[in-house]
A and B are shown apart, each in its own frame.
Chain A
Amino acid sequence: MTQTVGCSPAAIDIEQLGFDAGAHLLVKHALAGLAVGGQLRVIGQGQGWQAQLAHWCRAQGHALAWEGETALVTRGSAQAGRWRGAAATGHADPKAHGAVHDQAEPGWGLAARGAQVEAGSPSFAFRLDRKEEVWCDNAADLYAQAVAAQWNPDTALDWAVVFTHPPEIEEAVRQVMTYMVENENAALLVPARFLGQIHPHYREMQAALAIQLADEARHIDVFTRRIRKGENEPALSTAGGQASLKTLLDEPDFSMASFLLAVQGEGSFVHLLQFLAEYGPDVLTRQMCRLAARDEARHVALGMSHLLYRLQQEPALRDRLVRAMEQRHEGLSGTAGLNEEVFDALILIGAGGLSPQQITQGFVRVQALVQDMAGGRMARLVRLGFDRTEAERLAQLHTRNFM
């Protein structure tokens, strides 16, 4: 293509290029430099190019006249008209001024944040479309950390290990792994349900939750494979345990669910995983629990960051969080006592054998675990701005499922 600049009107030569091979791009590009009503001269050498140019101009709403063998294209207003009233949707970089809006509009739909969205685009019903409901400033960082910390169970874990521990300890591992799969199912489904409701404008949270789901799926997989490595099926699932987890799935508010998961559920789960990473009877169990604990700590950090952000916007939320914790505790007061199967299994794992001395040691270790869990809950509550006395009281309101 040759282009003449400086004289009016502008002119291009499409040479031999046909409209079956992209000639329209040359015309389009040249017209883009003109105002609506501006004129462009087009000449070409290919056979029959005139009818093809005429079709393209007609379809695009540009007027076309002929001066001998030269086409005179007048830029139409259709393209400009399409973008009249287009919506600005913030900026891709969340740190830029005005990047992330307090309210995301339904008509922005699936557009990338920062894109210009044509007026008349369809409305999407994203329930979570307010920044304060879903945002935290470090979601992008936590997502990047998660991407960097992904691990492949086939290479990160030693599946060839030969178990040398007694069968009753293996039985305890099977029970605890069964319980952990159940908890991870909740940890996968709770964010999954919110993920589909978050407006894509808040893509950093969307991404952080998406990779969290991948983490949970991997945990469910490795815990299940650990059970099968012992040539067994999963063990027992209690009604009380499931009732406790069901309260997490029943929570419709993203912040409340984050609170219940981060402060109680996954927060306590990290301690459990660390316990198993230390006292697990075999290297495979210890490896997988250490890696899973690292993932879960990230999930807790995301939930805590969101809560800190939301509490900053809406301090009154703190009272609702207290009520949610109390209600959850009361709601579960009618269920069976402490999850005996899991509690006893943990003692056995902590013990490593069935001698009275070993059992005593296991019992002491589980007592320490329970204290660590409560201490962690309290630390997180204090970090969220609760005073120490109230945090101490609330930290004791853990459910009978530990979590």
Chain B
Amino acid sequence: MSPSPFMLGAVAYAPKVVTIWEGFKAWLGERGFAMDYILYSNYEVQVQAQFKGDIAFAWNSPLAWVRADRMARVRGEKVRSLVMRDTDQDLQSVLVVKADSPLKGLADLRGKAVGFGAIDSPQATLIPLDHLQHQGDLVAGRDYDARRFDVLGGKHGDHIGGERDAALAMLRGEVAASWMIAGNYQAFAQEGTLPAGGTRVLATTGLFDHCTLTVSPGVDAVVADRLGELLLSMDWNDAQVRPLLELEGLREWRVGRTSGWALLERAATEQGFYDANGGLLASGYRY
């Protein structure tokens, strides 16, 4: 009888998630690592499952990492950032305005409406709110009107629909500027949502990290290390592996780190999303 597989949690933000984890399950299985996966509809329930012993590993959004880390600390436990994609490190979001907008800097946003993504989006809501507060002394509701474009709560902004809606609202003139992750700025131009050269970047956030494969508390370090080693060995040059990496959006895995979430840590607290113990504070958050 084969050994019980180690369970991995992932959030089903799109149908391709099934293809991705089926692929990893098969690939790891061929190398003697029995992994199976459970899909959750949102990151909040997935993080809670990490503390019930349901899943040994979780593919976490950066915000889910922040919550898991806080929940572990308050319990005297520890979660570990095992691996990340090369595309998860040192990201930035940009505040985009129409090319002919009179806005020149953050100070010009006073009294204006600004477009954000989903309520739980690190890149299009929480870190941008933090940026405006710390770099421009601008507080939502006091200095400007924050317009949120909520799509699929609980997915922590994985679904890009909110950012696209915010971009469209900016083009229609309903908001003066909209936030999006830098990668989506280019993606929205390529798909034609943003006219080429019809917009410009007004502000850029500091660097932040994105997703991480998180080890749940109490998981044998040898097992976790083995999984980490296997993933780090995945080679883009291998034609069998490449489609899986492409689908998951990376060229190579990197060793996990915790240094890239400082902005989000601060934002999650100051913008009132989680308390210090990982409890939910945000009103109007539905998932």
Contacts and interface: CB of A to CB of B under 8 A. Distances in A.
Interface stretch (A20-28, A124-132, A248-256, A314-322): A20-28
A68 interface: no
B215 interface: no
A82 interface: yes
B101 to A, nearest CB: 11
Determine the interface band of chain B, counting residues with CB < 8 A from chain A: 20 to 34
A51 B201 contact: yes
Contact of B197 (A20, A47, A56, A84): A20
Interface in A40-61: 46-52, 54-56, 58-61
A176 B185 CA distance: 67
Main secondary structure of the interface of B (DSSP, over half): mixed
A55 B183 contact: yes
A135 B87 CA distance: 48
Interface stretch (B58-66, B72-80, B148-156, B232-240): B232-240
B16 to A, nearest CB: 17
A120 interface: yes
B87 A48 contact: no
A81 interface: yes
B25 interface: no
A78 interface: yes
Interface string A111-141: 0000000111000000000000000000000
Interface string B83-115: 000110111111000000000000000000000
Contacts of B199: 20
Determine the interface band of chain A, counting residues with CB < 8 A from chain B: 20 to 34
Contacts of B159: none
A179 to B, nearest CB: 53
A259 interface: no
A125 B188 CA distance: 37
Given A18-B200, A19-B186, A58 B243 contact: no
A120 B243 contact: yes
Nearest to A78: B251
A76 interface: yes
Contacts of B227: none
A44 to B, nearest CB: 11
A230 interface: no
Contact of B182 (A55, A82, A85): A55
A22 to B, nearest CB: 7
B197 A82 contact: no
A385 B194 CA distance: 68
Given A55-B182, A120-B240, A120-B242, A50 B194 contact: no
B41 interface: no
Contact of A48 (B200, B236, B251): B200
Given A21-B196, A24-B186, A54-B92, A48 B203 contact: yes
A81 B237 contact: yes
Nearest to B196: A21
A18 B189 CA distance: 10
B204 interface: yes
Contacts of A82: 236, 242
B287 to A, nearest CB: 28
A47 B200 contact: yes
A51 to B, nearest CB: 4
A119 B183 CA distance: 28
A60 B194 CA distance: 22
B202 interface: yes
Interface string A59-80: 1110000000000000011100
Contacts of B182: 51-52, 54-55
Nearest to A62: B251
Contacts, number: 86
A242 to B, nearest CB: 48
Contact of A20 (B90, B91, B196): B196
B239 A118 contact: yes
B251 A52 contact: no
A85 B239 contact: yes
Interface in B214-260: 236-237, 239-240, 242-243, 249, 251-252
A149 to B, nearest CB: 43
A46 B94 CA distance: 13
B251 A61 contact: yes
Given A48-B204, A76-B251, A84 B92 contact: no
A76 B237 CA distance: 12
B91 A81 contact: no
A385 to B, nearest CB: 46
Interface in B164-186: 181-183, 185-186
A18 B197 contact: yes
Contacts of B186: 19-20, 24, 52, 55-56
Given A46-B200, A51-B201, A85-B239, A59 B87 contact: yes
Nearest to B198: A20
Nearest to A48: B201
Contacts of B239: 85, 118-120
Contacts of B249: 59
Contacts of B198: 20
A20 B202 contact: no
A18 B200 CA distance: 8
A25 to B, nearest CB: 12
B200 A50 contact: no
Interface of A: 18-22, 24, 46-52, 54-56, 58-61, 76-78, 81-82, 84-85, 118-120
Closest 6 CB pairs of A and B: A48-B201, A120-B239, A119-B239, A20-B189, A61-B251, A51-B92
28 contacts: A18-B200, A18-B201, A19-B185, A20-B188, A20-B194, A20-B199, A21-B189, A24-B186, A46-B201, A47-B200, A48-B201, A50-B204, A51-B204, A52-B94, A52-B182, A52-B201, A55-B186, A58-B90, A59-B87, A59-B183, A61-B236, A61-B252, A81-B242, A82-B236, A82-B242, A118-B239, A120-B240, A120-B243
